[in-house]
Amino acid sequence: MERQRQQGSWSIISMFVVASIIGTVVGISLTSSLAFSASQAGKSWAKFDASGNLIKPEGYREWVYVGAPLTPDDMNDGKAPFPEFHSVYIDPDSYKHYTRTGNFRDGTIIVKELISVGSKEAPSGNGYFMGDFIGLEATVKDSKRFAKEPANWAYFTFSPVPPRPNVMMKPKAKMMPTESCNLCHQGFAQHDWVFTQYYPVLKAAKP
Amino acid sequence: MERQRQQGSWSIISMFVVASIIGTVVGISLTSSLAFSASQAGKSWAKFDASGNLIKPEGYREWVYVGAPLTPDDMNDGKAPFPEFHSVYIDPDSYKHYTRTGNFRDGTIIVKELISVGSKEAPSGNGYFMGDFIGLEATVKDSKRFAKEPANWAYFTFSPVPPRPNVMMKPKAKMMPTESCNLCHQGFAQHDWVFTQYYPVLKAAKP
């Protein structure tokens, strides 16, 4: 009788232990699969409000930088269309997709941060050196939201007009008229309306 | 008796359920705290071989980009010391530390990737546009390994000599002689031997 009772409590304890182990394994898999699905879900990093305005992206300086074209005012009669350095970033999930496929997935967001020329002389030589942040532009590829746009890309600007430092970027932006951006992208961009020819990181990442 | 037995199996089932829930919570916390400690460990991203050579960093194009100075050959009598674009990156853990403290932690690695000028005209205007990867430089701050170096920074180059495209970077590099790099950094760099004045991302991230 005593032995039976002992056996009974042992089997309850072992059942408890087994259940805890199963639970722990379930917990770990659950967390890992959630983390996995977050990065693989194909969820876009572009966020829109209810009226379809693109909300100013945050944290893009920790995205993947792809290149920095420079169109200084002093080489463009004082009026570069995009003054002056353009640091260009792609969201990390779309970058991963690009390294696997060589294509921009649905939901890709590419950000272009405009930076003034701060100086033209440094210990490393004559040249162009970055000054202040003065503008922020973005493009988003979305086959549902921008079904009618060429290649489903839409363009947005958060920059003050004219671009200048110490001015807050707009918190959200309406899509630009198609013709104002797409004409250049459509005619001259190397791959899928994106100027990959100026982005060595994307050129190198193409599988 | 039947009722007692029923109550018994119910309490075993509820114990099993409770144990599973506890296990799941333990599993989730365990995974999260592991992920947390991996990013907070303060481990350096710089890797050295047994002889103290810095091993060429990998994956730095997914680190945090801080700025891109440009010293084109055509503005430096055809011979820029660092031709031509310099895409500069910091490892993500040291960037996080910098955003919290405004300082470069022990173990910081900063990478400078050299890129040729590919063209000087584009749809966005006249300027300088990136061509090919032609060199790779790095600096590491390590108070133990480089105890005798000014501010504990050492400098390394993986670039071919002269810098040129389609040439493999060296797989590892010996520390450069102190005087060959430190003189400029010591005299002109804005913060702790780093040219933060040309890196707007670091200027903006300073707390």
ipTM: 0.81
Note whether B38 contacts A: Cβ–Cβ < 8 A: no
Other beta carbons within 10 Å of A190? 13
DSSP 3-state percent helix, strand, coil across chain B (nearest 5): 40, 25, 35
Nearest to A124 among B25, B64, B81 (CB): B81
Using CB atoms, which residue from A81, A130, A204 is nearest to B200? A130
**B3-26: average pLDDT:** 52
Instruction: In whole angstroms, give the CA distance from residue B148 to residue B153.
Output: 9
Amino acid at A42: G
Neighbours of B13 (CB within 10 A): 11
Tell me how many degrees the CA angle A149-A155-A160 measures, rounded to the nearest 5.
155
Show residues of chain B in contact with A86, CB under 8 Å: 124
The predicted pLDDT at position B87 comes to 98
pLDDT of residue A162: 84
- Residue A37: pLDDT band with limits 50, 70, 90: very low
Contacts with A, B 80-109, CB within 8 Å: 80-82, 84-87, 89, 92, 95
Residue A21 at interface with chain B, using a CB cutoff of 8 Å: yes
Residues 134-173 of chain A with CB under 8 A from chain B are none
The mean pLDDT of chain B is: 86
Q: CB-based contact (8 Å) between A124 and chain B?
A: yes
Return the structure tokens found at B100: 């919290």
Radius of gyration, alpha carbons of chain B? 26
| 3 state SS of A170 | coil
What are the tokens at A12?
């309850």
Contact B84, B72 (CB under 8 A): yes
